[in-house]
């Protein structure tokens, strides 16, 4: 959305904090003068590993990549042992996206979709996020361990993008002025056996967290069914937030995924005028949380009838939808103990 005429690219100084980009990290930052906080997510091998292994059609992979960035962005703020699960359930060609983040660093993801409908959407050139998802909802579940309550936030998906859904979520559930940008792309590199494809992804989250809470007030999304002529209550937004949001909305996809542009340089490029402070980055890994023990426990929780239906060639075989790991059991191994 950057207009080059009115928004010339900022000159990057030669003494930037880090010249090289680091992949598979989350970097928190703060713009103290504007009461802004945020996080930058940069994913290289992690998102490539997840998306390449699934080998979904390209637009489905891109959409799942966006969900991975959003999940890492939000899940990485959790404490030790916390789990964050993002799940969509919609009526479009992509029926479901599930991304799980287990603190401090593990992420896994998968999608369920209708092959024919996805192929048709691609053929019609209508395979953007909103068209693929259709209508339904996005659920975000936070599980901070056995002693804490599970928290679930739900937002409606109505043909928009995951960015739109994230804004809606923060507006309604958390009441924190929030701006999110997500980007996913396939990088092409000349390789030995022809072009080498690699997925890259990135994102930035910006939140306005002033000490005085009344400064963070948000305008009502919709005046609702107020009588005609009623002026909706739209308090003016704080200047600091207007400035911060405007700066983040100028971030282009290429800046979020460019392997040559470090996260430090990116935030410096955006916030060098008000001044920005970056904090220690944390790493992210593509790792599933499934195990033979957890699959065994799941099978034992099924009814004997259900288990009997799963037996093929004298064994029960379960493949993890996230990581394709295969677990094979003899029927006797997973029988629920009587009594």
Using DSSP, state whether 245 is helix, strand or coil. helix
CB of 25 to Zn ion, least distance (A): 23
Q: Which of 63, 98, 103, 288 touches Zn ion by CB under 5 A?
A: 288
CB 98, min distance to Zn ion, A: 12
Which residues from 76-135 bind Zn ion, rule CB under 5 A? Answer: none
Q: How many CB atoms lie within 10 A of CB 39?
A: 24
**Order of strands, edge to edge, in the sheet holding 151-158?**
151-158, 135-143, 83-90, 94-102, 106-113, 285-286
- Find the shortest distance in angstroms from Cβ 292 to Zn ion: 11
51 binds Zn ion (CB under 5 A): no
Judged by beta carbon, residue 266 or residue 290, the one nearer Zn ion is 290
Nearer to Zn ion, 180 or 323 (CB): 323
Number of residues that bind Zn ion (CB under 5 A): 6
Token readout for 204 is: 């930035």
Site string for Zn ion, 207-246 (x = CB under 5 A): ----------------------------------------
Kindly tell me which of 201 and 288 has the beta carbon lying closer to Zn ion.
288
Sort 303 into a burial class: Cβ within 10 Å, 0-12 / 13-18 / 19+: exposed
Nearer to Zn ion, 183 or 290 (CB): 290
d(CA 74, CA 70): 6
Please report whether residue 322 would count as binding Zn ion according to CB under 5 A: yes
- Give yes or no for residue 248 binding Zn ion (CB under 5 A): no
User: Which DSSP letter does residue 77 get?
Assistant: T
Mask for 289-308, x = binds Zn ion (CB under 5 A): -x------------------
Find residue 141's DSSP bridge partners. Answer: 85, 152
The residue among 53 and 277 lying less far from Zn ion, judged by its C-beta, is 53
Structure tokens at 310: 């799963």
Cα gap 26→7, rounded to integer Å: 27
Q: How far is the CB of 327 from Zn ion (least distance, A)?
A: 9
Quick one: 234 or 324, whose CB is closer to Zn ion? 324
Q: Which one, 84 or 322, has the nearer CB to Zn ion? A: 322
Annotate 13-38 with DSSP letters as a single string. PS--S--S---SEEEEEEEGGGTEEE
Question: Which position has the token pair 């967290």?
Answer: 209
Point out which span in 97-105, 212-220, 252-260, 284-292 binds Zn ion (CB under 5 A): 284-292
For residue 52, the minimal CB distance to Zn ion (Å) is: 16
User: Which of 20, 326 has the CB closer to Zn ion?
Assistant: 326
Burial 255-286 (b: 16+ CB within 10 A, else e): bbbbeebbbbbbbbbbbeeeebebeebbebeb
Enumerate binding residues for Zn ion (CB under 5 A). 288, 290, 320, 322-323, 325
């Amino acid at each position: 959305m950057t207009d080059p005429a009115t928004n010339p690219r900022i000159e990057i100084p030669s003494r930037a904090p880090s010249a090289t980009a680091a992949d598979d990290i989350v970097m928190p930052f703060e713009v103290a003068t504007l009461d802004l906080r945020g996080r930058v997510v940069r994913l290289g091998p992690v998102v490539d590993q997840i998306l390449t292994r699934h080998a979904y059609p390209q637009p489905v992979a891109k959409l799942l990549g966006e969900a991975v960035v959003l999940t890492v962005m939000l899940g990485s703020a959790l404490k030790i042992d916390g789990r964050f699960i993002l799940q969509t359930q919609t009526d479009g060609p992509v029926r479901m996206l599930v991304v799980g983040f287990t603190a401090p660093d593990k992420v896994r993801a998968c999608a369920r979709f209708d092959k024919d409908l996805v192929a048709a959407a691609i053929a019609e050139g209508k395979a953007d996020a909103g068209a693929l998802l259709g209508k339904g909802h996005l659920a975000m579940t936070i599980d901070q361990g056995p002693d804490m309550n599970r928290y679930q936030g739900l937002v409606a998906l109505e043909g928009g993008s995951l960015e739109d859904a994230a804004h809606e979520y923060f507006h309604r559930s958390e009441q924190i002025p929030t701006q999110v940008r997500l980007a996913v792309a396939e990088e092409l590199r000349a390789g030995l056996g022809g072009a080498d494809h690699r997925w890259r992804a990135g994102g930035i989250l910006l939140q306005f967290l002033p000490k005085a809470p009344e400064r963070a007030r948000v305008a009502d999304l919709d005046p609702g069914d107020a009588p005609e002529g009623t002026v909706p209550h739209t308090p003016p937004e704080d200047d600091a937030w207007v400035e911060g949001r405007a700066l983040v909305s100028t971030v282009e996809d290429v800046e979020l995924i460019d392997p040559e542009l470090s996260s430090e340089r990116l935030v410096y490029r955006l916030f060098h005028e008000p001044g920005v402070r970056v904090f220690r980055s944390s790493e992210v890994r593509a790792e599933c949380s499934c195990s033979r023990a957890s699959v065994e426990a799941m099978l034992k929780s099924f009814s004997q009838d259900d288990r009997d239906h799963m037996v093929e060639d004298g064994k029960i075989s379960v493949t993890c939808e996230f990581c394709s790991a295969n677990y094979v059991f003899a029927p006797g191994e997973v029988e629920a103990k009587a009594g």
